[in-house]
Amino acid sequence: MDKIIICGGKKLEGEVFISGSKNAALPVLVSSLLTTGWNTFHNIPDLVDIKTIKRLLESLGAEIEGGETLRINADKLRNCEASYDLVKTMRASILVLGPLVARMGMARVSLPGGCAIGARPVNVHTKALEALGARIKLEDGYIEAKASRLKGTTIYLDLPTVTGTENIMMAACLAKGTTLLKNTAKEPEIMNLADVLCGMGAKISGAGTDTIRIDGVDSLHAVEATVIPDRIEAGTFMIAAGITGGDIKITGCDLCYLDAIVTKLRNTGMDISIVDGGIRAVGEEKVKSVDIKTLPYPGFPTDLQAQMMAFMTVGNGLSVVTETIFENRFMHVSELMRMGADISVAGNRAVVKGVPRLRGAPVMATDLRASASLILAGLAAEGVTELSRVYHIDRGYQKIEEKLSSLGADIKRV
Ligand code: EPZ
pLDDT band at 272 (very low <50, low <70, confident <90, very high): very high
Q: What is the mean pLDDT of residues 375-395?
A: 96
**Are 238 and 329 in a shared domain?**
yes
Write the pLDDT tens digit of every residue in 223-246: 999 999 999 999 999 999 999 999
| Ligand 1 neighbour 125 (Cβ under 6 A) | yes
Cα of 264 vs its chain's centroid, Å: 20
| Ligand 1 neighbour 90 (Cβ under 6 A) | no
Residue 114 has pLDDT above 70, yes or no: no
Domain of residue 143, CATH code: 3.65.10.10
What residue owns the CA closest to ligand 1's atom 38?
161
Q: Name the residue of 122, 138, 158, 161 to mutate for ligand 1: max ligand atoms within 8 A of Cβ.
A: 161
CA distances to 4, 147, 378, 379 from 384, rounded to whole Å, are 10, 57, 7, 9
Give SS3 for 17: strand
Q: What is the mean pLDDT of residues 259-271?
A: 98
Q: What percent of the chain has pLDDT over 90?
A: 93
Domain boundary among 226, 250, 274: 226
Mark whether 198 is an active-site residue: no
Write the pLDDT tens digit of every residue in 174-229: 999 999 999 999 999 999 999 999 999 999 999 999 999 999 999 999 999 999 99
**Are 261 and 408 in a shared domain?**
yes
Question: What gap in Å lies between CA 305 and CA 391, rounded to an integer?
Answer: 20
| Ligand 1 neighbour 235 (Cβ under 6 A) | no
**Are 222 and 234 in a shared domain?**
no
pLDDT band at 118 (very low <50, low <70, confident <90, very high): confident
Domain boundary among 181, 205, 226: 226
Under 8 Å between Cβ of 124 and 133 = no
Q: Name the residue of 124, 127, 325, 395 to mutate for ligand 1: max ligand atoms within 8 A of Cβ.
A: 325
| Ligand 1 neighbour 6 (Cβ under 6 A) | no
Q: What is the mean pLDDT of residues 108-129?
A: 86
Whole-number CA gyration radius for the chain: 21
How many structural domains compose the chain?
2
Among candidate residues 115, 198, 253, 256, the one labeled active-site is: 115
Question: What gap in Å lies between CA 337 and CA 59, rounded to an integer?
Answer: 43
Write the pLDDT tens digit of every residue in 342-368: 999 999 999 999 999 999 999 999 999
Domain boundary among 208, 226, 244: 226
Q: Which run of H or of E encompasses 45? A: none
292 alpha carbon – ligand 1 mean position (Å): 19
pLDDT on residue 120: 76
pLDDT band at 322 (very low <50, low <70, confident <90, very high): very high
**Are 273 and 358 in a shared domain?**
yes
Contacts of 346 (CB under 8 A, 6+ apart): none
Write the pLDDT tens digit of every residue in 1-34: 899 999 999 999 999 999 999 999 999 999 999 9
10 alpha carbon – ligand 1 mean position (Å): 35
Alpha helices, DSSP H, located in 154-287: 162-173, 188-199, 231-244, 259-267
Question: What gap in Å lies between CA 400 and CA 230, rounded to an integer?
Answer: 13
**Are 251 and 394 in a shared domain?**
yes
Question: What gap in Å lies between CA 366 and CA 345, rounded to an integer?
Answer: 17
Q: Which residues span the domain enclosing 63?
A: 22-226
Write the pLDDT tens digit of every residue in 155-175: 999 999 999 999 999 999 999
- Global pTM reads 0.97
Please give the full DSSP string across 273-322, using - where no structure is assigned. EEETTEEEEE--SSPPP--EEB-STTSB-GGGHHHHHHHHTTSSSEEEEE
**Are 13 and 26 in a shared domain?**
no
Residue 89 has pLDDT above 90, yes or no: no
| Ligand 1 neighbour 66 (Cβ under 6 A) | no
Write the pLDDT tens digit of every residue in 274-297: 998 899 999 999 999 999 999 999
Question: What gap in Å lies between CA 265 and CA 290, rounded to an integer?
Answer: 9
Q: Is 254 exposed, middle or buried (0-12, 13-18, 19+ CB in 10 A)?
A: middle
For residue 87, how many other CB atoms are within 10 A of its CB? 23
91 alpha carbon – ligand 1 mean position (Å): 9
**Are 308 and 168 in a shared domain?**
no
- Residue 123 CA: nearest ligand 1 atom is 40
**Are 242 and 211 in a shared domain?**
no
**Are 211 and 251 in a shared domain?**
no
Give SS3 for 72: strand
**Are 87 and 165 in a shared domain?**
yes
**Are 8 and 63 in a shared domain?**
no
Q: Name the residue of 162, 232, 233, 398 to mutate for ligand 1: max ligand atoms within 8 A of Cβ.
A: 162
Cα of 50 vs its chain's centroid, Å: 12
Contacts of 405 (CB under 8 A, 6+ apart): 411, 412
The edge-to-edge listing of strands for the beta sheet with 81-82 is: 81-82, 106-110, 142-146, 135-139
**Are 300 and 245 in a shared domain?**
yes
Give SS3 for 270: coil
